[in-house]
Structure 1
């Protein structure tokens, strides 16, 4: 179980670190042109806040477990990432981008599995 949870958390961390770093580093217009059209629906500070939440979530699902410090943050971060994916799915649904919702659903499932595992049967 621990191996599956570490694998899932690592995958989540990689995906959200990459997405969050790009969202933080680039402006809304660049994001819109390069496949993140959702950014045009939000003010620039909100886009940066989403990017920061993704980066912090990425760190939160792996660092506390690796360091053995405040390990309750692992499932809490996973819950935060799951909530982000619910919000992302709603945005994509509103925009009519149904194919993007599948990615959100997979990432939600990985985050929910991580939260469930680390809150319950394989708590750190």
Structure 2
């Protein structure tokens, strides 16, 4: 199970790093034009903050355990990303963007599994 948790954490880290970097580095207007219409409900600063949180969460999923420096940060990061995905699901549901809910739900489940495993029976 330890290997499975590492694989899930790595995949989550890659997904959140890419998505967060995109939100943090691209202007809000470009994100909206590329199909992320939910950004219209948030200020440019809020969108960038969401991106930074996702990048930090991605780093927190892997780096602390890899370097063996404060590995308790791994399940904390996973929990934070799970909470962020609950927020994403709520935003998409309120905007009636039903197809946008599925990716958030999958990422939520994966982050919750990492949090459960690393807080519980497979802690570092």
TM-score bracket, shorter-length normalisation: over 0.9
The secondary structure found in structure 1 opposite 2:7 is helix
Within the alignment, does 1:83 sit opposite 2:83 as a pair?
yes
Q: TM-score, normalised by structure 2?
A: 0.99
Report the counterpart of residue 72 of structure 1 in structure 2. Answer: 72
Show the 5 A alignment for 1:1-124: 1-124=1-124
Q: How far has the Cα of 1:36 moved from its partner? A: 1.2
The secondary structure found in structure 2 opposite 1:122 is coil
* Structure 1 gaps, min length 5: none
* Structure 2 gaps, min length 5: none
| Structure 1 outlier segments of 4+, above 4 Å | none
Distance 2:41 2:61 in 1: 28
Number of residues of Structure 1 aligned to a counterpart in Structure 2 = 124
| CA root-mean-square deviation | 0.5
Distance 1:22 1:115 in 2: 25
Q: TM-score, normalised by structure 1?
A: 0.99
Q: How far has the Cα of 1:35 moved from its partner? A: 1.9
Distance 1:44 1:5 in 2: 34
